[in-house]
Amino acid sequence: MKKKPFQAVPTVLTLAAALLVAHAAHAGRSCEQRPMTPQTLMQGMTLAQKTAEALDAEFARSGARVVVLGRAGQDLGKYQLRYSHLGWAYKTPEGPWRVLHKLNQCGTSTGALYRQGLGEFFLDDLWRHEAVWAVPGPALQAPLLAVLTDPALSTRLHERDYNMVSYAWGTRYQQSNQWALETMALAAEPGIASRQQAQAWLGFKGYQPSTLRLGALTRLGASTTSAHIRFDDHPNAKRFSDRIETVTVDSVLQWLERSGLGGSPVRLAL
């Protein structure tokens, strides 16, 4: 069934569906429920429209059909991080951009993959109305598009057990940014068949996760009150020295540019 091109003012049914999805699953944002205000709605839809226009311009210029797309769902400034969540945006044959990303049912320990439009992606109660994206290199464009549009391949490295601060080099849990990064490895190297192999490839290519400095009291409080935050997959030597290594949007964008696998990050703010 063909999708209509993205419009700034959605139909009532489209908007209702978007709001239902936005309140059903979350990633990279607080679990606090707040009512959607008209201003928040318009800001989210405006950001989505401007992002679509910018990505279409990039497609016209370079032919890029896949970008890694990030948003700022919560304030992570105290960790020196600007963005909280990323997914893969790809241009469909019909024209509109779609986003494949992993979301967590808020307050639970499980996650699932979702395909959404840009409007849905940016309606998720953002901390700051800003988008960021980077274009993977030409050699990665076709392999990434093939993986992202294939239901079997795109879920091959998905782990249902969710942990917002999962260990970057572990396989017990998996957070949203980690799935996106490991799936890129799968696209880049067809011989990869497991998360361990994907992580080995990422290490070989020089990826470095972010290190969050979380004290014992912070870890204890998060572990006892939030089902989606756990620390038992981190090596004891690092965990007990307050070093939590996890995959972040900022670290992925920095690595893509540093490694030459992607371009410089592009930011769009309202």
| All structural domains of the chain with their residue ranges | 34-269
SS3 assignment for 192-260 = CCCHHHHHHHHHHCCCCCEEEECCHHHHHHHHHHCCCCCCCCCCHHHHCCCEEEECCHHHHHHHHHHHC
Per-residue pLDDT of the chain (270 residues; tens, 9 = 90+): 333 333 333 333 343 333 434 444 555 444 566 677 888 889 999 999 999 999 999 999 999 999 999 999 989 999 899 999 999 999 999 999 999 999 997 778 999 999 999 999 998 778 999 999 999 999 999 999 999 999 999 999 999 999 999 999 999 999 999 999 999 999 999 899 999 999 999 999 999 999 998 754 354 444 434 667 888 999 999 888 888 999 999 999 999 999 999 999 999 999
Take residue 135 and report the two structure tokens written for it.
């274009």
Question: For position 232, what pLDDT does the model report?
Answer: 92
Q: Over the chain, what is the mean pLDDT?
A: 86
Residue 58 and residue 159: Cα distance in Å, rounded? 32
Distance CA 59, CA 90 (A): 10
pTM: 0.85
Distances from the Cα of 200 to the Cαs of 94, 194, 231, in angstroms? 36, 10, 22
Q: What is the pLDDT of residues 48-64, one digit of tens each?
A: 999 999 999 999 999 99
pLDDT digits (tens, 9 = 90+) for 208-242: 999 998 754 354 444 434 667 888 999 999 888 88
Instruction: Say if residues 56 and 89 touch (Cβ distance below 8 Å).
Output: no
